A and B are shown apart, each in its own frame.
Chain A
């Protein structure tokens, strides 16, 4: 069945460091891919999405490119801030329905 595997954490970075959180997926057909962010005590918020191969999603300095050949959707940011400290979830939804499959989440802590 469809699934998402993402890099285990926790990840601790200094402010202004580069971030990469790996995400790979297994799916039939052509899924849509998402990154959600969960700040402490809050629900999940959509960070970015890509709905077809080679699409690049971007928001708040974060980027991820839908790579069909490697079945990946890695999250990147060139310079992280303390306010980026959160848990990041990779997710997919198949094109046959709107059920979501989430990864286990990667906790990011950015220290000043």
Chain B
């Protein structure tokens, strides 16, 4: 079974630029999550999708972050414009409906200069 795929693995941008991350969850997994993991901290949930609907985006900085999952499969997370404090690893995870375990992708390491 293929795992959660994310791209790119690494991205370096300058502040005020835009960036987008892509995630393809495990086939059949209804729920998809985006997390932000700042160095030395645990993952912080940014947004949770159930199929193509948003379940929780209470911690998403909506003035600069956006995410979509139009067909209920893969998802993109965008930052526009980026700030220095957005430097982090962005993790995507998925789980099947009703399941407890989350399956994580390898993450995208973003460096904002």
A43 at the B interface (CB under 8 A): yes
Is B14 an interface position by the 8 A CB rule?
A: no
Size bracket of the B interface: 20 to 34
Asked if A105 contacts B41 (CB within 8 A), the reply is yes
Complex Cα distance, B45 from A91, in Å, reads: 12
Q: Which residues of A contact B100 (CB under 8 A)?
A: 32, 49, 51, 93, 98
Q: Check if B27 is an interface residue, CB within 8 A of chain A.
A: no
Residues from chain B with a CB closer than 8 A to the CB of A104 are 40-42
A102/B31 contact (C-beta < 8 A), A34-B101, A43-B104, A44-B91 known: no
Q: Could you tell me the distance between the alpha carbons of A45 and B4 in the complex, rounded to whole angstroms?
A: 11
Chain B 91-111 near chain A by CB (<8 Å), digits 1 or 0: 101010001111111110000
Please determine whether A98 and B106 come into contact, CB atoms closer than 8 angstroms: no
Inter-chain contacts of B104 with A (CB < 8 A):
36, 43-45
Q: Which residues of A contact B87 (CB under 8 A)?
A: none
**Does B43 sit within 8 A of A, measured CB to CB?**
yes
B75 adjacent to chain A (CB < 8 Å): no
Say whether, besides A102-B43, A105-B41, A46 and B56 are in contact (CB < 8 Å).
no
**Are the CB atoms of A103 and B42 closer together than 8 Å?**
yes
Q: How far is the CA of A49 from the CA of B48 in the complex (A)?
A: 22
Interface flags for A91-112 (1: CB within 8 Å of B; 0: not) read 1010000111011110000000
How far is it, in angstroms, between the C-alpha of A44 and the C-alpha of B99 when the chains are bound? 17
Q: Is A69 an interface residue (CB 8 A)?
A: no
Q: Determine whether the beta carbon of B41 is less than 8 Å from that of A99.
A: no
Q: Which 6 A-B pairs have the closest CB atoms?
A: A102-B42, A43-B104, A44-B104, A43-B106, A104-B42, A32-B100
| A positions within 8 Å CB-CB of B | 32, 34, 36, 41-46, 49, 51, 89, 91, 93, 98-100, 102-105
Besides A89-B42, A93-B100, 15 other CB < 8 A contacts? A36-B104, A42-B106, A42-B107, A43-B6, A43-B91, A44-B91, A45-B104, A46-B101, A51-B100, A89-B43, A98-B95, A102-B42, A102-B43, A103-B42, A104-B41
